[in-house]
Structure 1
């Protein structure tokens, strides 16, 4: 080994995964260095709009996309509790605030639904969950056939065995699983497309039923009050970096972690199956080779490709499969408003928006006077919007977002928001309310030249992608992988998944080092005991190549999900989601 003590660790990447691994290892006595090229927190970090602060106020805050913390997150809140914060016995987790409502907004406000998703509302029935998603009922409150069929699809997934989830639903698109062909436009918009584009920035035709079904299952158990007493939806009480990332970095420094910002890994030096060093490029173009006993690669999936040709594939040839993983865009846009505009006390899903928009009015949750703290004193609120579909023509310019200028993107998003929030009686949004806007600078070239690019793309779980994703342990004896693309219980590119992968990398390193410290807990998703027998029955059916016992054809003409494969694929590895949470 390169180091002298056997306890030196270099973490390549300072996003949620890298900082998690650093914290777990530093707490167990390792000497950790973290190198990060851009900013601590990765895609989770917040930033500011340069030059907008006046009169001693801070610049207007911005985000790559709003942060939210579903109730099924368990590993990440555990990390947050362990980050000290003055006056908070629960650490920075104390900066989380419940978002008690969810609005399903529709064009012209026709058919919109506001759901109480608060803890105080108590457990919900499955029918209440469907209503909360904005799913319409039939005449006189009776469920229509399509809604009943969607309930059937969720029941099929929730009672599917681990073997079927990986062996069949991982290979089946959400579009096919929900039998979208032949269904009504409303069914496709709300039950099929809405479940993917507004959550994981993926096309229903491509995203696996294993991923979408798992997310909706976890979210549904939270609404039902199962699996813990956490609020179903929580947000931070200030900008992400202020409320969480900055205290985290300060805590790591107190633990002795060496934090090197502005350094990018350019390659790995590999000897046999051992990483001997990392080639780094830093401020002013400086180049150096750093050595450690152990290495944790916590780079985003879209930056792994360049490293494959510079030592990573030599360390573990199996990692070349990550080059086939796909990413898509889920981009943040902030509108700064001159009046407080709490559209609802939580998140808004714009069911009819071509660009699959979601939003939240932030100032109502922040523990500061927004106008007195940020900007020029005239900005009273920030409407933070996520844009999840960049390839669909809009309603204002008739172009997809990728083909618009930055100003056209902002105008189009404002128009789509207004289409859902305004009607003949009430105008929630109007031009006089708008002070300014700010689009994530990670999106480049919208104003030319060349095609638009995104430096912060998000992994999408296409069908069959589980097999392409690495585990934390690699073939190299001293190299471990972390990131939201690494296999973990939460089968989705989320902060929770990134946190779990950092914990898994730390645990794999502890095992390789022969360290006797207690491993970090990687929390499994909640599984109700009442469904255990049904899953056992389904495992037997799957081994026989037979369909799920509840898997019925839709009440309309459409291709149904394929039969179970005759050669079942079993879950591989202890960190597989199925042997155990976006």
Structure 2
């Protein structure tokens, strides 16, 4: 590809953000090339376990972590609807299936709850949402003062102005916002730690209340039936690449997008305020340079650092701030079972697991006969588990996951699952079910030598990190940023955020190019109109340096001078 026509674009990175930008730009007549070193779809792609398929069956499927599509996702489903799929009037969105239940599993099954989150049930009440948290209540199931205080925290966030969210809650940890100090272990486990570790793989002590509060707000509106009428939780009907990424890549090819796999950007060449070329490294020692009129950098945040010293910071010195962003591990482990084991019709959150486990039984949602399609003919189900805490000692070996061997990680996860799912009378999981397992190969060195590493770490939104995150537009006249770390309405490292960033990069490029076409829609999160006036009042209070009108100390603490109740805290 050669620049000069004003229509050529190189997209660096073929994850969700990069593929989104490529699709939006190709639809508007640009000549797009996407270069990707590892695999189309990035962290969203699925893979397989080599050599496990026999008798004409496919190899057993694996994922970096299970996929789910919450009801507040709007931009990503719009993209999926526009990816053609034979026999589906809604494109690959037609491959989504509702997950109508959510199980909060507890040790020994004592106090577990199953929440009906199906669309057919209709709107729910805030009281139902609170009970669905899975917090162990009194004998009569009454809401105790801690759960009521958690309701207060959510109401405070939902009625906070945009100014307070960015000015105060962005700088306040979720731990402090929820007043975890002095609360019971049960409250901290379910309402504080559980809200971060099992969803965004971040410690409550460092994750911002702006991020966690916004995520729970979006989920809550979905469960309340507010916003678009779509299921609160959806999953795919096949492995991610089969159901979504592969059809997407074929569609891009039909649009004329040039897709180059196996090439990694090594350096940007910058002249003045413009990028004039990108040096790529391919298989072995092969190198080449590409040039274009426009560049979209859609690399993961953990790959940005190496490029900063190789042209990226020269293009825009402000991008050096991204070096302050932090990542953590959220890793997928698949258990292949010899019998169908649908623990529940949806996701399971293991509230008492030290490693912050979540899982889903996949075969029940897939449109194929698992046993006849995958493996050696004896595997009937895949229990897909996400491990979100790698620094907490486990219950079997007393070691954090980072210090375990791969086999010890697997045994420890199995032990934590059975601790929650077995009560001494019922055994949901037992050794006879286990055919084999597969732990994400992006985690390296668990068996030594040296410390364990993760090639697919996930951005976590620590307090104050919003200021470190770039916008889609940069100081370079022809360089734009995309990725789940780029500022967008979904303030969380998700596929929705990656998709929104690809759309934002498209729009910034269109403005720079003087393109007269319709911009890509970056969907805003739902806001309740009846709370608008309260937000306006709060904006005025915040400008005066006063606390939120509903913000009160927790009932277990009468401390004064708490930083949570001051805009300067």
Give your verdict on TM over 0.5.
Answer: yes
1:221-267 superposed Cα distances (whole Å, 9 cap, x missing partner): 00000001110000000000000000000000000000000000001
Change (3 A) 1:157 1:482: same
1:277 aligns with 2:277: yes
1:439-491 superposed Cα distances (whole Å, 9 cap, x missing partner): 00000000000000000000000000000000000000000000000000000
In structure 1, distance between residues paired with 2:530 and 2:41: 39
Unaligned 5+ residue runs, structure 1?
A: 558-574
1:540-565 superposed Cα distances (whole Å, 9 cap, x missing partner): 000000000000000012xxxxxxxx
Change (3 A) 1:238 1:120: same
Q: Is the Cα–Cα contact under 8 Å of residues 101 and 345 in structure 2 kept in the other structure? A: yes
Q: Is the Cα–Cα contact under 8 Å of residues 489 and 576 in structure 1 kept in the other structure? A: no
- Shift in Å at residue 139 of structure 1? 4.7
Q: Counterpart of 2:266 in 1: which secondary structure?
A: strand
Q: Counterpart of 2:62 in 1: which secondary structure?
A: strand
In structure 2, distance between residues paired with 1:396 and 1:52: 29
- Shift in Å at residue 136 of structure 1? 3.4
- Shift in Å at residue 131 of structure 1? 1.4
Change (3 A) 1:581 1:333: farther
Q: Is the Cα–Cα contact under 8 Å of residues 488 and 576 in structure 1 kept in the other structure? A: no
- Shift in Å at residue 189 of structure 1? 0.2
In structure 2, distance between residues paired with 1:366 and 1:318: 45
| Match in the other structure for 1:576 | 563
> How many residues were matched structurally?
565
In structure 2, distance between residues paired with 1:432 and 1:487: 47
Change (3 A) 1:185 1:534: same
In structure 1, distance between residues paired with 2:512 and 2:311: 21
Q: Counterpart of 1:295 in 2: which secondary structure?
A: strand
1:176-225 superposed Cα distances (whole Å, 9 cap, x missing partner): 00000000000000000000000000000000000000000000000000
- Shift in Å at residue 518 of structure 1? 0.1
State TM-score, norm by structure 2. 0.97
Q: Is the Cα–Cα contact under 8 Å of residues 489 and 578 in structure 1 kept in the other structure? A: no
In structure 2, distance between residues paired with 1:424 and 1:7: 66
| Match in the other structure for 2:468 | 468
In structure 1, distance between residues paired with 2:184 and 2:564: 33
In structure 2, distance between residues paired with 1:181 and 1:532: 32
Q: Counterpart of 2:284 in 1: which secondary structure?
A: helix
Mean CA deviation greater in 429-438 or 138-147: 138-147
Q: Is the Cα–Cα contact under 8 Å of residues 60 and 374 in structure 1 kept in the other structure? A: yes
- Shift in Å at residue 285 of structure 1? 1.9
Q: Which runs of 4+ in 1 moved over 2 A?
A: 135-142, 575-582
In structure 2, distance between residues paired with 1:578 and 1:272: 47
- Shift in Å at residue 577 of structure 1? 21
- Shift in Å at residue 130 of structure 1? 1.2
Q: Is the Cα–Cα contact under 8 Å of residues 100 and 116 in structure 2 kept in the other structure? A: yes
Q: Is the Cα–Cα contact under 8 Å of residues 490 and 496 in structure 1 kept in the other structure? A: yes
Mean CA deviation greater in 282-291 or 485-494: 282-291
1:327-377 superposed Cα distances (whole Å, 9 cap, x missing partner): 000000000000000000000000000000000000000000000000000
- Shift in Å at residue 4 of structure 1? 2.3
In structure 2, distance between residues paired with 1:165 and 1:576: 15
- Give the aligned CA root-mean-square deviation in angstroms: 3.0
Q: Is the Cα–Cα contact under 8 Å of residues 337 and 434 in structure 2 kept in the other structure? A: yes
In structure 2, distance between residues paired with 1:328 and 1:5: 42
In structure 2, distance between residues paired with 1:482 and 1:581: 32
Q: Is the Cα–Cα contact under 8 Å of residues 189 and 352 in structure 1 kept in the other structure? A: yes
Q: Is the Cα–Cα contact under 8 Å of residues 83 and 247 in structure 1 kept in the other structure? A: yes
Q: Is the Cα–Cα contact under 8 Å of residues 490 and 581 in structure 1 kept in the other structure? A: no
State TM-score, norm by structure 1. 0.95
Unaligned 5+ residue runs, structure 2?
A: none
Q: Is the Cα–Cα contact under 8 Å of residues 11 and 296 in structure 1 kept in the other structure? A: yes
Q: Is the Cα–Cα contact under 8 Å of residues 496 and 581 in structure 1 kept in the other structure? A: no
